[in-house]
Homo-oligomer: A and B are copies of this chain.
Amino acid sequence: MITLSPAVRFTDASIDMAHGAGGTASRRLVEGLIVPLLGTREPLGDAACFPIESGELAITTDSFVVRPLRFPGGSIGELAVNGTVNDLAVSGATPLALVVSFIVEAGTATAVLEEEVRAMADAARRARVPVVGGDTKVVEHGKADGLYVTTTGIGRVDSRSRLGTAGVRPGDRIILSGHIGDHGITVLLARGDIDLQASLQSDTRSVYPFCAALMDAAAPGVRWMRDPTRGGLATTLNELARDCGMGMVLAEDSVPVRDEVRGACELLGLDPLHIANEGQLVAVVAPEAADAALAALHGVEGGEAAAMIGEVRAAPARTVLLTASYGGTRVVDMLVGDPLPRIC
């Protein structure tokens, strides 16, 4: 399944402690596998240096501990690049560079690590952002779960819109880029703990194209953007409601949820609004810019199901309300506890 690229010269069958010790074995792993695949220039603990113009810089870091490492539609490596690119994108920033740090469990097959480094390289290429540096540590067998990946990204902030909760006003529209819950339910099913079959795929992808299209179409009217990952759309909108002191009123019928996700949630007693996404964007947009914003999302690959799902109200303050299809209204809380551990 894996075709060795000519540049890969690392032939050890699995990773052991010496590959994290900083000596010759570390150098063989980094120079023989990681650098050729990622195209990193400065791999061995030095800092990577590059010129930068003055402006506003964005920086974000995330660790990824998803279990299993691979699942339909994605893997930890792809997630690690997309998640960090997305944190920059929703901050209104264009990604400039990534650095990555691996914590590998001794005994992990080299093929597993190689697949993830390749997945990172592919995702970075698609997002058009270079991986400029990194680090690799190895811990004893049993002291990690195959592989943990930490990715940090820096980006240049787009000066066209002042994003943040301070600009959110009553009457603003809430726009969502597509179906929710695909990632969380896909990973849950991939673990095989639950006897459910569904042809579902993770939505992991860069949301930068969504953000860029939104800014191009509606820049001064774009108030706030976020990718609703851990805790789902409900948690993200509750944080927004709390931070801006207003209410978010959603129409249940307008929130795109696939039948497979709805079915799995009903069986498991979960709310799709609490399920993690990895390639969705939720944005608050001024009412006069909302139609243009929605049309822009519809024109981006993967944004065909984008929808206007609700609006901002002055009251009830700090609350998310859902108007159900049968007419009733209920309060949507933040996620409490952890029904789906380690989905990213």
Contacts and interface: CB of A to CB of B under 8 A. Distances in A.
Interface string A219-244: 00000001001110001000100000
B63 A338 contact: no
A87 B60 CA distance: 19
A50 B61 contact: no
Contacts of A230: 20-23, 26, 45
B20 A341 contact: yes
A54 to B, nearest CB: 4
Contacts of A129: none
A324 B60 CA distance: 49
A49 B157 contact: yes
Interface stretch (A132-140, A197-205, A260-268): A132-140
Chain B CB within 10 A, most for which of A22, A51, A93, A134: A22
A56 B63 CA distance: 27
Contacts of A50: 56-57
B48 A59 contact: yes
A342 interface: yes
Interface stretch (A95-103, A187-195, A210-218): A95-103
Interface in A132-161: 132-135, 137-140, 142-145, 148, 150, 152-155, 157
A337 interface: yes
A276 B22 CA distance: 9
Interface residues of A, number: 78
A25 interface: yes
Contacts of A135: 61-63
B137 A61 contact: no
A61 B152 contact: yes
Contacts of A335: 21-24
Identical chains bound together, number: 2
B44 A239 contact: yes
A137 B103 CA distance: 14
A2 interface: no
A25 B143 contact: no
A47 interface: yes
B54 A58 contact: no
Chain B CB within 10 A, most for which of A49, A57, A93: A49
Contact of A57 (B49, B139, B155, B334): B49
Contacts of A196: none
A27 interface: yes
A301 interface: no
Nearest to A142: B142
A62 B25 contact: no
B231 A46 contact: no
A88 interface: yes
Given A133-B60, A152-B61, A152-B99, A87 B47 contact: yes
Given A139-B145, A139-B148, 19 more contacts: A20-B342, A21-B338, A23-B231, A24-B336, A25-B338, A26-B231, A44-B239, A45-B87, A45-B229, A47-B58, A49-B56, A51-B55, A52-B55, A57-B154, A60-B133, A61-B99, A61-B135, A139-B342, A144-B144
- Nearest first, the 10 A-B pairs at minimum CB distance are A22-B230, A23-B335, A22-B231, A21-B338, A47-B60, A47-B58, A152-B152, A150-B150, A47-B91, A61-B99
